[in-house]
Amino acid sequence: MNDLGKSLKCRSIANNSPLSQSISVLPVMKFNHIWTIKNFSVVPSEKEITCPNFSPPHFKDKWFMKLSPNASNDFGIKFIGVHLFLRSEHCIF
């Protein structure tokens, strides 16, 4: 068996089709960003709020967040929605 055969692990499931698995390890950078929303209590509940762009320390990536004060799911359960978006991406690899 060659090296490729040793690194690829396959097993059969009920329908006898092969199952393969791969694991990717990506670099992780942890940092904090504090977003202060002044006068939050007077923001209309149907309005989305977007924060200014921010970047991790020593990186050029631009991120932003959107907050939905009155979001709801398919079951009618209401919650505050916070979503993180990548505005621009710079390759670091």
85, two tokens: 């978006």
Residue 47 bridge partners (DSSP) = none
Task: Report the pLDDT value the prediction gives residue 67, as an integer from 0 to 100.
Answer: 93
Q: What is the pLDDT along the chain (93 residues), one digit of tens a residue?
A: 444 444 444 454 556 666 788 888 988 888 899 999 998 888 888 889 999 999 988 888 899 999 988 888 899 898 989 999 998 866 554
Look up the pTM and report it: 0.60
42, two tokens: 């007077």
Residue 43 DSSP one-character state: S
Q: What percent of the chain has pLDDT over 90?
A: 28
Q: What are the phi and psi torsion angles at 36 (to 5°)?
A: -100, 130
Task: Report the pLDDT value the prediction gives residue 86, as an integer from 0 to 100.
Answer: 92
Helices (H) and strands (E) in the chain, counts: 1, 5
89, two tokens: 């991406």
